[in-house]
Chains A and B, each alone.
Chain A
Amino acid sequence: MDRVTAILKDPLLLAALAVLALLGLGELLSPGFARGDQIVRLLTVAAILGIVAAGQNLVILGGREGIDLSVGAVISLGAVIAGNVMSGDDAMILPALLAAGGVGFLVGIVNGLGVTVVRIPPLVMTLGMMGVVQGALVVLSRGVPSGNAAPALMAFVNQPLVAGIPGILFVWAAIAVLMAFVLRRTLFGWSVYAIGANERAAVLTGLPAGRIRTILYGLSGLFAGITGVCVIGYTGNSFISVGDQYVLPSVIAVVIGGTSLAGGSGSYTGTILGAIALVLLQSVLTTLQMEFWSRQVIFGATLLLLMLLYGRQARLRV
């Protein structure tokens, strides 16, 4: 029994079990679900969510109720910018990536300054920023879809590059390695955990908490901008609300992966598993050929179940 509790209390293990169970369930319901090419297809979808969730993960780890609700709008912005910069030209992929990532980073820095300097609650600041970026999108695109992906980018996201695996999965793997390295082996990473766990103590240890937190929001914007490029690579073109569907799933993936919404504990490894589990869950529900409404209900109920396992707040009476 104690061992069962221990498993239930280790979010990484739990998320990994959820991934395996969903995979098994999918295969049971629809043979071929867990076939190699199917898994690659699912991972491609998970990669897009996983990249934006990397930024969300950092912001949440940094504590003080950190959350970035503007990522959806920034993804759309990144996609529209990238689409217009590329206009189908392979040579412009790198400039498009730089432009989308750079603009995303700047938006994130403004979020960070609002949160740290003006001390606006992150929920409110990033919500307000979402409105501003959506407005900017209307100005940029004049309300009509514009720009399209370069063929090489679409191939990179959708077609196998090496050994049947598309390039975007290598990018995701690189991001995963980078995140793990930064969080575990650099002073910056340790500082993120420190300010998330106890900001006052971090400041009294000499850490520039405000600067670190501002950078975290900047990185969240950067990842969202990059995700925008991935999204346009995945779909070929963009529209101004293409990123909206990623906002709350990015938060959920982080939470499923065991990162505490209070900050200071968690890992990107968990978030990767969380993103995969989330995509698998949606896929299994689709496979079941359920109606949309019942998929929604089961999806919501599953989230509540996950909250029951490790999203609970402390008791007032001990």
Chain B
Amino acid sequence: MPDAPDALTATGVTKRFGAVVALSDARLRVGRGEVHALLGANGCGKSTLCKIIAGTVARDSGDIRVDGEARPLASPRAAEAAGIAIFYQELSLVPQLTVAENIHLGHEPRGAGGFVDRTARDESTDHLIGRFAGVAGDTFSAKTRVADLSPDQRQITEILKVLARRPRLIIFDEATAALDRRQVDVFFSIVRDLRAEGVSSIFISHRLDEVFAVADRITVMRNGETVGDFAVAETDPEAIVREMVGDVRLGPRPGKRPAAGGEPRLVVDGVGGGRLKDVRFTARKGEILGLGGLQGQGQKRLLAGLFGAEPFTSGAVLLDGAPVAPRRPADAIRAGFGLVSGDRGRDAAFPGRSILENAAMASLVREKAHLILARRLSARFDRMLAGLKTRYAGLGAPIGSLSGGNQQKIFIARWLAARPLVLLLDDPTKGIDLGAKADFFAIIRALAETGTTVLIYSSEDADLLSLCQRVLVFNGGRITADLSGPALDAVGLTRAAYGEAA
């Protein structure tokens, strides 16, 4: 359609959060009725750009035109008035309300006298749910409270909420993350129907196969700027990955260390709880053991169980031959476990507190150091953080003054100082740039050299391939493959994750 103006053109968009430059020069052009993928490594700014387009984040400068018309997009309401709807990675549902109330929130169907027409609302909701009939589970209706939904049902509700708005441009930010294959297929058919109706979509996904299956064009971003715009038909996944990564080499090659031959340290014997079922394995001293598979297959639950945050309901765990059954994290820490989470804001950071407080807390607890000798403690952590190549103004500076990667080093230091026997890593590289990631890998390797056993779950297979000699692949709460040696490569991991285990 050469005559119609583009559905969206954004040029020269910039945004700073305090000292951090999130966007330096973002560009994006989406044609009418086009499915446009927006790709880039974590932290490249694609989510920020989407939030600016959706009106929830204010841009510092730049020009955004919707259907050829310049728009300030000063609020989510203004964006909505311009025909833009966004599917949020961080869900925008209200758990206390029902599915129907959420889907029509802000657009309640009105009957006589301006009262909410509940019948019409629930019927239209059930009609929308019907598009996912057969793949969304039976406990899913207009009157279900969102708090009672499973993660995939919530994600579907979020998708339906966007659709109910009848927008002309939809932003799907990781809309398929919690969906299974059949649900993804339904979703794709909806996206194609929308395309046929002239609705444009911006599609963010970390699954390249999905992008190539559904998108018409691809924009790649790197470090806050747009580096290229490609037609899907004229490119291939490898070229796109090269654009995303740029000149920086991919993570370091896997170390050619001999397969761990140390004594058994951690024996997990048939544990269950939540979605975990009869998980059993042995991890040796000095081993870096990977937990692989698609997201949400029980890996996080295993780590939470070992750490006593969500105790197991069955099975046993032996640490150096002695049974451990932590009922709370404090028990696990006493036994010698440590946990570094990728969700730093939720699980690790004490916002507003100093770097020293953030770094020292675990060792103070472990050493029962009731009196704090500040000078000695500072010297100790200055030494340790210098060893981790951490950049900071001073130990008294607030934790928030550090970048994500440097913050994560502080939280590693928290546990290194406590000298754990087993270090649990729960998607630890989330939101960390490649340079910090390389440092992080080096720290973990050095720690394993000293005999610490490391269990790592990562949402990025590349992390596991760089770090681990052995990876346990999870599917539906069970270990479905135990990969090591030549079987442990990207293809093997992916096949095992999708249930085609060798």
Contact = CB atoms under 8 A, between A and B. Distances in A.
A205 B361 contact: yes
Contacts of A207: 330, 361, 365
Interface in A265-295: 265
Contacts of B351: 197-198, 264
B154 interface: no
A111 to B, nearest CB: 23
B330 to A, nearest CB: 4
B399 to A, nearest CB: 9
B27 to A, nearest CB: 22
A203 B310 CA distance: 12
A187 interface: yes
Contacts of A318: 17, 57-58
Interface string A183-203: 011111010011001101111
Contacts of B365: 187, 205-207
A208 B357 CA distance: 17
A31 to B, nearest CB: 43
B352 A265 contact: yes
Nearest to B339: A204
Interface in A131-167: none
Nearest to B352: A265
A208 to B, nearest CB: 6
Given A194-B353, A317-B56, A318-B57, A204 B309 contact: yes
B455 to A, nearest CB: 16
Nearest to A203: B329
Contacts of B334: 206
A58 to B, nearest CB: 16
Contacts of B20: none
B240 to A, nearest CB: 30
Interface stretch (B90-98, B190-198, B341-349): B341-349
Interface string B366-381: 1011111010000000
A185 B372 CA distance: 5
B333 interface: yes
Nearest to B415: A205
B362 interface: yes
B300 interface: no
Interface in B31-79: 55-58, 75
Nearest to B344: A201
Contact of B364 (A190, A203, A260, A316): A190
Contacts of B371: 185-187
Contacts of A260: 352
Interface string A301-318: 000000000000000111
Given A200-B346, A204-B339, A264 B370 contact: no
A198 to B, nearest CB: 5
5 A-B pairs with least C-beta separation: A206-B333, A197-B350, A206-B365, A206-B330, A265-B352
Interface of B: 17, 55-58, 75, 307, 309, 328-330, 333-334, 339, 341, 346-353, 357, 361-362, 364-366, 368-372, 374, 414
17 contacts: A184-B372, A187-B371, A190-B357, A193-B357, A194-B350, A197-B352, A198-B346, A201-B349, A203-B330, A204-B329, A204-B347, A205-B329, A206-B366, A208-B330, A317-B58, A317-B75, A318-B17
Given A194-B350, A207-B330, 15 more contacts: A186-B372, A187-B368, A187-B370, A187-B371, A190-B357, A190-B361, A198-B348, A200-B346, A204-B347, A205-B329, A205-B362, A206-B366, A316-B56, A317-B55, A318-B17
Interface of A: 184-188, 190, 193-194, 197-198, 200-208, 260, 264-265, 316-318
